[in-house]
Copies of this chain bind each other. A is one copy, B any other.
Amino acid sequence: MKLTILGCYSATPRTFNNPTSQLLEVRGHLFLIDCGEGTQVALRKSKAKFARVKHIFISHLHGDHFYGLIGLISTFRLLGREADLHIYGPKGIKEIILLQLKLANSYTNYALIFHELESTESELIFEDETLEVHTIPLNHRIYTNGFMFKEKPGERKLDMNAVLEANIHQSYYRKIKAGADVINENGELIPNERVTLDAPAPKSYAFCSDTMYKPDIVPLIQNITALYHESTFLEQHRHLCEKTRHSTAKEAALIAKEANAGQLILGHFSTRYSSMEFFKDEAQTVFANSDIADDFKVFEF
């Protein structure tokens, strides 16, 4: 999985700080997660082939997470897009987008397919042969979901030395990779585990922004490969978290630790702090493998 941070700062776009947006490349998909104002410019700067984006996931309807969506939709139209575009986001997102297209008399010449979310339970919202996307209900001032991207287990790998030694006809190879026991040329039953190796462990990525500390998401994201968790504040400003429904870096790290995450990526920083390194330092006191996002930083896992 390759994660490109397009923006990771809270509140307002600034000269050098973009609001939230991320691009996740996984199993041939290019998923866009959140789309603050200016995301289309960040996409151009990142040199991403963003015309390939077919699925956009919007966590909630605060401006710093979706004001760039209508502009991106319009730009796709101007660029002559024909491919369907799926948009997953809170109920109301369809009305906003369609109202703007109507008043501009600028309907898209490609299909816009809205998947409006309103459940407060985790839902499977996308699935193909290799991948699933689930919502992660969060606790913010308005209805908000995080998203979990989870590879399905791949096929088992043939252990070619063992396969040849077991004298199995090659017409059975597909079946073996799918996990079946087969009969060899000598009429013997060959147990699958004798001739195959485990598939690479499936990877997973969870995006959790915006939310206050919500430990009940831990079972949903247990053993996640990489967790992005918002940390708007440091512990010294924890009193602001209750009112604004945000988290501190330490709280994000507690979630990562409880979930046994492979790594933690912090983001959605308040711009009141002079250095984002403070967030990393605070998180690492709880969870060692903590790092900070930054606009245009790339994480591969």
State the Cβ distance, A210 to closest chain B Cβ, in Å.
12
Known: A95-B99, A105-B141. A40 touches B13 (CB 8 A): yes
Asked if A109 is at the interface (CB within 8 A of a chain B CB), the reply is no
> Range of interface residues on chain A?
35 or more
Partner of A41, one of B13, B45, B75: B13
Residues on B with beta carbons closer than 8 Å to the beta carbon of A93: 103
Asked if A100 is at the interface (CB within 8 A of a chain B CB), the reply is yes
Question: Within the assembled complex, what's the spacing in Å between the Cα atoms of A93 and B100?
Answer: 9
Residue in B closest to A18 when the chains form the complex, CB atoms: B41
Say whether B142 contacts A14, CB under 8 Å. no
State the Cβ distance, A122 to closest chain B Cβ, in Å.
22
Contact with B along A51-68 (1 / 0, CB 8 A): 000000000011100011
Residues on B with beta carbons closer than 8 Å to the beta carbon of A44: 14-15
Asked if A104 is at the interface (CB within 8 A of a chain B CB), the reply is yes
Q: Give me 17 other A-B pairs in contact (C-beta within 8 A), A93-B103, A95-B99 excluded.
A: A13-B38, A13-B40, A13-B75, A15-B45, A37-B40, A37-B67, A37-B68, A61-B100, A61-B103, A61-B104, A63-B74, A67-B71, A67-B74, A96-B99, A96-B100, A99-B99, A104-B142
Say whether B37 contacts A15, CB under 8 Å. no
Residues on B with beta carbons closer than 8 Å to the beta carbon of A63: 70-71, 74, 100, 104, 106
Say whether B14 contacts A41, CB under 8 Å. yes
Q: Oligomeric state, in number of copies?
A: 2
Question: Within the assembled complex, what's the spacing in Å between the Cα atoms of A106 and B245?
Answer: 14
For this complex, 22 residue pairs linking A to B, each with C-beta atoms less than 8 Å apart, are: A11-B78, A12-B40, A12-B75, A13-B38, A13-B40, A15-B41, A15-B45, A37-B37, A37-B38, A37-B67, A38-B41, A61-B103, A62-B104, A62-B106, A63-B100, A63-B104, A67-B71, A90-B103, A92-B103, A93-B103, A95-B99, A96-B96
Say whether A13 contacts B96, CB under 8 Å. no
State the Cβ distance, A17 to closest chain B Cβ, in Å.
9
State the Cβ distance, A91 to closest chain B Cβ, in Å.
9
Question: Within the assembled complex, what's the spacing in Å between the Cα atoms of A104 and B95?
Answer: 13
Question: Within the assembled complex, what's the spacing in Å between the Cα atoms of A23 and B71?
Answer: 22
